[in-house]
Structure 1
Amino acid sequence: MRKYIQQYRPFLLFLGTFFLVYVVLTFLYQQYLSSFDDTKSDGITALVSQQVESVLQWAGFQVSVTPVLNEWYLTYQNTAVIRIVEGCNAVSVFILFVSFIAAFAGRFVNTFLFIIFGTAFIYLLNILRIAALSILLYRFPAYSHLLHGVLFPLVIYGTVFVLWFFWVTKYSKYAN
């Protein structure tokens, strides 16, 4: 048994670190969410909703977001186009991203900076993704499953995968 542990030590360390960071961050996020009841949205989702509104207004669209209990409704041309809920704020994607980078950590400064800038990039991409999705769903409501269920998750998770790949090949302790 000791031989196998030694042989697979890098993989076991990766798994252990990944799951430890993932569980701790998920627990902390759940604690944060539990401080809000069903009548009020959490602050991160509220911020994302307001920033989507600002981006679309900056782009010339006459939109507004309105809180209704713990959701936000984006209205365009007098039509409620989308609702932004806690799952839209990308925090679960951040947790997955950070867990993977921590599991493949390199030098502390590089790891820390990559986590900060990677998370900021994913956050910005998520704002733009929701904004684009809003207008596309207004114009092409028949394609809602393709846009919301396939294309836009592919964009966000594909970007995370590219960032992971870049990290592992350039900066992690396993990069050659």
Structure 2
Amino acid sequence: MKKYFILYKPFLLFLGTFFLTYIVLTFLYQQYLNGFQENEMDSITRMVSDNTQWVMQLFNNQSYIEESATHPYMKLFYDGKYVARIVEGCNAISVIILFVSFVVAFSGKLKTTLLFIFGGSLLIYVLNVLRIAALSSLIFYFPKQEPFLHGVLFPLYIYGVVFMLWLIWVRNFSRYASKDTK
């Protein structure tokens, strides 16, 4: 048994670090969410909604958001028509937690790791806002395609970005990055 532990130590350390980071960050995020009343919207989702409204108004000044009076979500209107709602799950925090957990599990130098986490999280946030804006306008023009757009295309987009960031991290900055200078 000891032989296998030694043989698979890097993999087991990766798994342990990944899951520990993921569990701790998820717990902290849940504690943050628990600080809000049942029908109160959290500040991160509100900020994502405000940023999405700003982006949409660059292209269509009839686009706006409106807070639901009875539920914790924002109604998103495109060209004056209600097309979507922005809920807590739309704020990409769970995606950012997944991204951070992976980078920490493959950590490199502390400064590089922290800068990559900050830059990657910011990129995911910005691309998520653009994703919501694009999704809303596409739903306006192609309402019958909403299940495909929301359920397939845009998750593929956001997780594809995270995967590319992971590849960049592992190949260039992690402690496992190749030291070859071609």
Alignment TM class, shorter chain as reference? over 0.9
Counterpart among 163, 173, 176 of residue 175 in structure 2: 173
Q: Give the number of aligned pairs.
A: 176
Instruction: Report which stretch shifted further, 83-92 or 50-59.
Output: 50-59
Residue of structure 1 in register with 2:64 after alignment: 64
The one-letter code matched in structure 1 to 2:131 is R
Instruction: Report which stretch shifted further, 18-27 or 63-72.
Output: 63-72
Checking the alignment, whether the CA contact within 8 Å between 2:60 and 2:78 is kept in structure 1 is no
Secondary structure (helix, strand or coil) at the match of 1:17 reads helix
Residue of structure 1 in register with 2:77 after alignment: 75
5 Å-filtered alignment, 1:1-176, equals 1-68=1-68, 69-176=71-178
Q: Distance in 2 between matches of 1:56 and 1:169?
A: 36
CA positional deviation for 1:79? 1.6
The one-letter code matched in structure 1 to 2:4 is Y
Secondary structure (helix, strand or coil) at the match of 1:70 reads coil
Structure 1 segments of 4+ aligned residues over 6 angstroms from their partners: none
* Contiguous gaps of at least 5 residues in structure 1: none
CA positional deviation for 1:37? 1.8
**Which deviations, in whole Å up to 9, do the C-alpha atoms of 1:30-71 show, x marking residues without a partner?**
000011122210000000001100111122331111111300
Checking the alignment, whether the CA contact within 8 Å between 2:55 and 2:133 is kept in structure 1 is yes
The one-letter code matched in structure 2 to 1:23 is I
The one-letter code matched in structure 2 to 1:18 is F
Q: Distance in 2 between matches of 1:14 and 1:59?
A: 44
The one-letter code matched in structure 2 to 1:57 is Q
TM-score (norm 1): 0.98
Root mean square deviation, CA, Å: 0.8
Q: Distance in 2 between matches of 1:78 and 1:6?
A: 62
Q: Percent identity?
A: 55
Instruction: Report which stretch shifted further, 147-156 or 31-40.
Output: 31-40
The one-letter code matched in structure 2 to 1:133 is L
Secondary structure (helix, strand or coil) at the match of 1:105 reads coil
Could you say if the C-alpha distance between residues 77 and 60 of structure 1 is closer, same or farther in structure 2, counting changes exceeding 3 Å? Answer: closer
TM-score (norm 2): 0.94
* Contiguous gaps of at least 5 residues in structure 2: none
